Structure formats: structure tokens, C-alpha cells
Amino acid sequence: MEKRFALVTGASGGIGRAIALKLAEDHYSLYLHYNQNKKSITELMNELERFDIEVIPIQADLGKPDGYKQIAAQIFSLHAVVLNSGNSFYGLMSDTNDQIVQQMTQLHVASPFSVNT
């Protein structure tokens, strides 16, 4: 049987972990994207050892315009993409500066679009 690979963005969080475990149960090999929480990805990779799958961690900041390129450069085969990455900003709109707006737009709109193209 041909290996099937899935990319899970935001795999270091609780929802990403649950998605990765479900995909592993379904025999997908995984690309596990994270931005800063390497410890969580390492723990998840240890948990995934019980499955007979390939697991590849990918660090990339999808809040930056070229962040998706770090992911694309490490993928050699892909059958599914789960867009789960995200970040929250708490505050009033009047407290939100242009840099925050650009980063949130990049992370939640532009990077997911670029990852899928």
C-alpha cells in the first residue's frame, strides 16, 4: 500500500494533537507543523511511535509572508492538508496596530491559501 501523507498545521496545540492522532490511526504519515512549541511536537512524536507511520516535524512561522515556503521546502509527498494553525489577539480594535493586523491576516488568510497552492 502506498504511503499517504498529511500535513497538520498547528500540530503543537491540543486540537492539532487530536487531529494527528486520528490521522495516524487512519495510517497517514504526518508532517507536523509548529511555530514555537517544539516540546509539544516532541511529546506528540513520542506518542505517535506506536503507529507504523513516518512523522516529520516542520518548524515555520506562518505569520510571516515566507513562512509557508519553509513548509513547502520539506514536503515531498502530500495527500491531505489540515489547516489548524492560528493565534488570538485580545483587545479592542482601537488597540490593534497595523503590524498585528498584517500578522493575523498573514497567519489566518494568506498562509493557508499559499500552503494549499
- The domains of the chain, with CATH numbers, are 4-115 (3.40.50.720)
- Mean pLDDT, residues 84-112: 82
* Beta-bridge partners for 59: 34
Residue 4, C-alpha cell as written in the block: 499517504
* Beta-bridge partners for 32: 8, 57
- Encode pLDDT of 71-82 as tens digits: 999 999 999 999
Residue 79, C-alpha cell as written in the block: 495527500
Summary mean pLDDT of the chain: 90
How much is the pLDDT for 116?
67
Contact (Cβ atoms closer than 8 angstroms) between residue 11 and residue 19: yes
Res 30 pLDDT > 80: yes
How much is the pLDDT for 91?
81
- Encode pLDDT of 40-69 as tens digits: 999 999 999 999 999 999 999 988 889 989
How much is the pLDDT for 102?
84
Res 1 pLDDT > 70: no
